[in-house]
Amino acid sequence: VDERGGMDWLGPEFLTWMWWRASVDPEFLRKDGSSVYVHVDEFLELKGERAAARKTTLRAGMPGASAEGKVALRNGKVVTAARLLLARGEEETALTLRAEDFDLSAVRLPATEINEPDERLGASLSAVRRLYEDLDFCFAAFLALRCTQRWDAELVKLRAWAGAPSDEERTL
């Protein structure tokens, strides 16, 4: 809890951690042996903490690998929204997650070839349930680190990644 009694830092810290994880180790392994893969795609928004600070919005392509994103991070901006791809087996779901309130938007569920309306609705509802399970799983993995002594070691790795040149910077 911050000095005002809130936890405004939690969402941006989670999305920054997800960006890092997607860059260095996108696989989240479940206890049952299945995996969820995470990728940051097509949209990344970062803002400075001061009211006068501008926001950086990256669209299209792979913003997670861009020089602009890493430079904004190095300049103290935090991730406030990201377009995530979550893959479970052959099933891929895309969504935009906002850090402020964990609001989901622009959700694209896996395509289904079911023609019967009731069955299609059931398949869509199942896909939404799996999406929330996957997000909850990733958030639980984050909290399992963030709320323990292991966070210090994780933070060292995250800071090293943030300070290192992006894929785009290395090719320039």
pTM: 0.87
State the average pLDDT over residues 35-63.
Answer: 83
- Tens of pLDDT, residues 97-155: 999 889 999 999 998 888 898 998 999 999 999 999 999 999 999 999 999 999 999 99
Q: Which two tokens mark 72?
A: 């904004």
Q: Residue 98 in contact with residue 46, Cβ under 8 Å?
A: no
CA 21, CA 137: separation in Å to the nearest integer? 14
CA 80, CA 69: separation in Å to the nearest integer? 12
Grouping H, G, I as helix, E, B as strand and the rest as coil, residue 11 is helix
pLDDT reading at 6 higher than 60: no
- Tens of pLDDT, residues 68-93: 888 888 888 889 999 999 998 889 99
Q: Residue 77 in contact with residue 46, Cβ under 8 Å?
A: yes
Tokens 């896909």 belong to residue:
127
How many of the other CB atoms lie within 10 Å of CB of 69?
A: 25
